[in-house]
Structure 1
Amino acid sequence: MRLVIFALDGLFDTGLTVLLDTFAMANELAASHGFATEPFDVRLVGVRRRIRTAHGLSTSVEPVSTISRADWVVVPAPGIREPERLIERMQDRDARDAMTYLRSWHADGIGVAAACIGTFLLAETGLLDNREATTTWSLAPFFRQRYPAVNLDDSRMVVASHRVVTAGSAMGHLDLALWLLRQASPELATLVARFMLIDRRSSQAEYIIPDYLAHADPLVARFERWARDNLSLGFSLQAAAAALSVGPRTLQRRTEAVLGKSPLAFFQDLRIERAQHLVSVGYDLEKIASEVGYADSATLRTLLRRRLGRGVRELRAEMR
């Protein structure tokens, strides 16, 4: 598999090194396990001859004009987390040039992929329009507002859609690398994951911090505070809207636009977050159920397992 890692100035150091180290490990293990040749030809390219990472490390890259063939082009994340700075960065000449190359490569049948905040560069090209995609959960509200034509599901770790692949937050670079490994050799991907102690994660959902997302919008932030104060009482859209002095439809539309989910779904997220914390510190399950608005512990047990993939015993064991 011929892979191109498209490196721009100011990229997220860990994202770049995770990609390079994972594919290097794959080639090393392939050589010791009977593969005739190294399965991955990885090249680091850019629109400039040298790039400087977010931490100030400098490295040379091959000129992008030297790339005539590739199976996949991978875009690591820039080392920027603030929406305003990210918008400015995407207007820089090298970023605009990179977008032109990405569109051209995709038109030629080359797969394109991005992880974490690198998905914004991909979305800016228009290649994600009318496709399913994911991004870093922490900037999902901003992503939804800027790219309404993208079918965003920020709960997922990796989303593949017709030779366009996106991966989630920060260490999603690792999940993206493993996804690409599996396309070449599922057996080798499993071997690399075992050697590097990499867990296979299909979802970002349990890592999302609901109140962090809520602060992206003043009304949603107020709703989040109301919801936390009323977890034990259960959810009523009419009661929430009345407490916030807005109409139910306004609250519904705003949470869906910012969070990509209904007020009820967000309320459920807060319930799960609170219940998970109380389980971890040893509270009795009946008391926890009461505190988060459930009539009995059986319902809570079922919900925790369905949403987190683990039961009460496993959650408590993790915190020991």
Structure 2
Amino acid sequence: MRISVLVLDGVFDTGLTAVLDALRVANNLAGRQGKQPPFEVSVVGLRQKVRTAVGLMVPVHAPTPALQPDWVIVPALATSTPELLVPALGRADVKKAIVQIGKWHEQGAKIATSCIGVFLLAETGLLDHREATTTWWLAPLFRQRYARVQLEESRMLVPTDIGVTAGAAMGHLDLALWLIRKTSPELAGVVSRYLLADLRSSQAQYIIPNHLAQADPLVLRFERWARERLKEGFSLQDAAAALGTSSRSLQRRCQAILGKSPLSYFQDLRVEHAQSLLHAGLDLDAAAAEVGYIEGATLGTLLRQRTGRGVRDLRADLR
């Protein structure tokens, strides 16, 4: 498999090295088994000199017509806030990269990217009317910029016909393991053991609801209102009246910013608070009562649905 890793100035160092190291380990392990290394990796840049976010120089090759990758990997830029990201998307080299990604796609290459790199892919229009994931804390900005993309930020990996997108930060490693698994599930299993890393299906357990709400004043007011009423249950009409808006407006803003209904977000807040209570030592029934559920089993089901983990798994984090 021919893989080109497209590196831009200010690339997220950990993301870039996670991808390159995972592919290198895969090639080395395949060689030890007497097999041909499965990945032919080239590091490509659109400038003669490329520096990472921490200032390290990266040796790169310019893209040429002879370069015909099967996959192109686009590591994230280290622009972790809207104030940094939006101007970065207007940089000359970033615009050239967006054009180059489109050319590679036209030549038959699949595109793989993670975290903020998904914004670059979305700029090409290739994600329009397709599912994708990205770094969870920039999901509100992503939805506002790319309304045609079906964002699923709770998922860690989203494969489509044009390639694959992955979640935040260390999602780069999940991305690399996924590519290795496409070549050899057995090899991917060995690599994950060497790197002490497993493919994760979800990043839902890492999402901080309050960070998402801060993207919009109305949603933030709703979040604060909801936190004070987790034990009381949810009423859309009561919420809208308390916030001085209509039910329809509240529904619309939550959907636009959070990608979910007010009720679904209210349940996210319940899950977040319940997890903190369980970590503090409360049993399931007591935690359930604190977030408005009569039975602990109901809360347990919701926790598993939202985080992919049971109570025992959540408590194991503290050991």
TM-fit CA distance, 1:82: 2.1
Partner of 1:120: 119
Query: How far apart are residue 18 of structure 1 and its match?
Result: 0.4
Q: What's the counterpart of residue 160 of structure 2? A: 161
What is the one-letter code of the residue matched to 2:234? F
The equivalent of 1:221 in structure 2 is: 220
Match of 2:238 in 1: 239
Give the Cα–Cα distance (whole angstroms) in 1 for the partners of residues 200 and 129 of structure 2.
25
1:178 alignment partner in structure 2: 177
Deviation string 1:18-46 (CA, Å, 9 cap, x unpaired) is 011000000110011231x1111111011
Shift of 1:84: 3.1
SS in 1 for 2:98: helix
Match of 1:293 in 2: 292
Q: Distance in 1 between matches of 2:311 and 2:254?
A: 30
For 1:83-130, what per-residue CA distance to the aligned partner results, in whole angstroms no more than 9, with x for missing partners?
132221121111111111111110111111111001101111111111
Q: CA deviation at 1:208?
A: 0.3
Query: What CA distance in whole angstroms lies between the structure 2 residues aligned with 1:31 and 1:138?
Result: 39
Match of 1:41 in 2: 40
Q: Structure 1: which 5+ residue stretches go unaligned?
A: none
Equivalence for 1:18: 18
- Match of 2:202, SS state, is coil
Alpha-carbon distance, 1:69 to partner: 1.3
TM-score calculated relative to the size of structure 1: 0.97
Separation in 2 of the partners of 1:227 and 1:279? Answer: 20
Deviation larger for 90-99 or 269-278: 90-99
SS of alignment partner, residue 199 of structure 1: coil
Given residue 113 of structure 1, which amino acid in structure 2 is its aligned partner?
A
> Structure 2 CA distance, aligned partners of 1:314 and 1:68?
46
Give the partner amino acid of 1:94: D
Matched, 1:319 2:315: no
State the match for 1:7 in structure 2: 7
Which residue identity does 1:23 align to in structure 2?
L
- How many residues align? The count is 319
Tell me how far 1:228 sits from its aligned partner.
0.4
The answer to whether residue 272 in structure 2 is matched with residue 270 in structure 1 is: no
CA deviation after TM superposition for structure 1 residue 154, in Å: 0.6
Measure, in 2, the Cα distance between the counterparts of 1:192 and 1:15.
17
Q: Distance in 2 between matches of 1:150 and 1:2?
A: 28
Aligned to 2:32: 32
Runs of at least 4 residues of structure 1 off by over 6 A? none
Structure 1 residues 149, 306: closer, same or farther in 2, change over 3 A? Answer: closer
Kept in 1, the 8 Å contact 2:202–2:307? The answer is no
Q: In structure 2, the residue corresponding to 1:64 is in which secondary structure?
A: coil
Which range moves more in the overlay, 241-250 or 79-88?
79-88
Distance 1:173 1:223 in 2: 33
- Partner-residue secondary structure (3-state), 1:159: strand
C-alpha separation in 2, matches of 1:8 and 1:67:
21
- Aligned-residue offset at 1:182: 1.1
Paired residue for 2:137?
Answer: 138
**CA pair 194-151 structure 1, distance change in 2 beyond 3 A:** same
Q: 2:231 aligns to what SS in structure 1? A: helix
